[in-house]
């Protein structure tokens, strides 16, 4: 059949077979995570350095300009660092698709008697789980930045981090299914991820951007994810002078509520997943 699709009659026993296949793909991603201890440690160290080295340095600049203390900037930076901690694991999922396609393992997976979208969703869920686990290590140190250890705050931050991790995973996967060479994927992801991360206000306030870049940031789904996490920890209430922590995400002077922001992120994720699933179903 066209695109190597499996006839409906050949599929397994309904939903249970699909769930079992998704779980197996998810477990494979988790095994890769557990075995790659050095890679996990390096990515966590990179995030910690961003928070406590770059953050302290940039915080000194903000304090010197009268826009708040260095500790205020570290608190402002913290949600962005959570996203940065999740990003390497999400990119790895996209890279694994390209490598599996090159060495022939992906073709063996595609002949399984389940929907191909199930295999893709399993990968994305695995990437989301790994990325969330890495972010939770950083989240555990939030008390060092004077963020109170309240179950409600941490539960909501965990959910927001999981959604953001899924968004990044789906985005990397969408790009991967259109690319054949690992080197090409690395280049494309590098070119795309950097603007998405910086335009979202992970490192500095969107209010510091020129008008046209500030406008572009409103079309970046990560902008809404980061802003929702900052509002969860109460960073948006720390206003100093010209305000490094003013309300950055507004449309016509109106600021969307956090549930609306998360709905925007979820809608983007679903749309990208549909595109990736359609392309993945045509791979041979």
Counting as low any pLDDT under 70, the low residues of the chain are 1-13, 54-71, 235-253, 284
Helices 182-199 and 221-232, interaxial angle, to 10°?
Answer: 50
Which own/partner pairs from 158-162 qualify as long-range (CB within 8 Å, at least 24 positions apart)? Answer: 158/132, 160/225, 160/228, 160/229, 160/232, 160/262, 161/82, 161/86, 161/132, 161/135, 161/136, 161/229, 162/128, 162/132
**What is residue 55's predicted lDDT score, i.e. its pLDDT?**
66
Let me know if residue 259 belongs to a domain: yes
Please provide the average confidence, as pLDDT, over all residues in the chain: 79
Let me know if residue 214 belongs to a domain: yes
**What is residue 258's predicted lDDT score, i.e. its pLDDT?**
86
* Contacts of residue 81, Cβ cutoff 8 Å, sequence gap at least 6: 47, 50, 51, 55, 138, 202
Q: How far apart are CA 42 and CA 16, in angstroms?
A: 38
Let me know if residue 2 belongs to a domain: no
* Contacts of residue 252, Cβ cutoff 8 Å, sequence gap at least 6: none
Structurally, the chain folds into a number of domains equal to 1
pTM: predicted TM-score of the whole model, two decimal places: 0.82
pLDDT tens figures, 151-191: 888 899 999 999 999 999 999 999 988 888 888 888 888 88
Which own/partner pairs from 225-228 qualify as long-range (CB within 8 Å, at least 24 positions apart)? Answer: 225/83, 225/160, 225/163, 225/164, 225/167, 225/200, 225/261, 225/262, 225/265, 226/79, 226/80, 226/83, 226/164, 226/200, 226/201, 226/202, 227/201, 227/258, 227/261, 228/160, 228/258, 228/261, 228/262, 228/265
Let me know if residue 4 belongs to a domain: no
Q: Could you tell me which of 56, 107, 40 has the C-alpha nearest to residue 284?
A: 107
**What is residue 242's predicted lDDT score, i.e. its pLDDT?**
41
87: domain range?
Answer: 12-280
* Contacts of residue 135, Cβ cutoff 8 Å, sequence gap at least 6: 82, 83, 85, 86, 161, 165
**What is residue 56's predicted lDDT score, i.e. its pLDDT?**
67
Let me know if residue 122 belongs to a domain: yes
Let me know if residue 36 belongs to a domain: yes
DSSP helix/strand/coil, 100: helix
Let me know if residue 3 belongs to a domain: no
Let me know if residue 1 belongs to a domain: no
**What is residue 60's predicted lDDT score, i.e. its pLDDT?**
62
């Amino acid at each position: 059949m066209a695109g190597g699709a499996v006839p409906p009659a050949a599929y397994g026993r309904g939903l249970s077979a699909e769930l079992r296949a998704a779980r197996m793909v998810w477990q494979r991603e988790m095994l890769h995570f557990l075995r790659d201890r050095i890679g996990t440690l390096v990515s966590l160290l990179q995030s910690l350095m961003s928070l406590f080295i770059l953050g302290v340095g940039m915080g000194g600049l903000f304090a010197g300009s009268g826009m708040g203390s260095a500790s205020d900037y570290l608190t402002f930076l913290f949600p962005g660092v959570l996203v940065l901690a999740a990003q390497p694991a999400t990119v790895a999922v996209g890279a694994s698709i390209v490598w599996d396609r090159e060495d022939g393992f992906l073709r063996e997976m595609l002949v399984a008697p389940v929907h191909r979208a199930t295999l893709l969703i399993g990968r994305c869920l695995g990437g989301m789980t790994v990325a969330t686990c890495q972010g939770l290590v950083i989240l555990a140190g939030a008390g060092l930045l004077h963020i109170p250890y309240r179950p409600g705050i941490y539960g909501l931050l965990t959910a927001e981090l999981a959604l953001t991790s899924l968004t990044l995973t789906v985005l990397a996967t969408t790009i991967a299914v259109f690319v054949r060479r690992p080197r090409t994927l690395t280049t494309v992801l590098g070119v795309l991820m950097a603007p998405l991360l910086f335009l979202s206000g992970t490192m500095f306030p969107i209010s510091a951007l020129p008008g046209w870049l500030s406008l572009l940031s409103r079309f970046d789904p990560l902008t809404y994810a980061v802003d929702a996490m900052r509002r969860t920890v109460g960073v948006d209430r720390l206003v100093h002078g010209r305000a490094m922590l003013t309300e950055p995400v507004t449309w016509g002077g109106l600021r969307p509520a956090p549930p609306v922001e998360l709905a925007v992120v979820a809608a983007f994720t679903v749309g990208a997943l549909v595109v990736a699933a359609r392309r993945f179903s045509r791979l041979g």
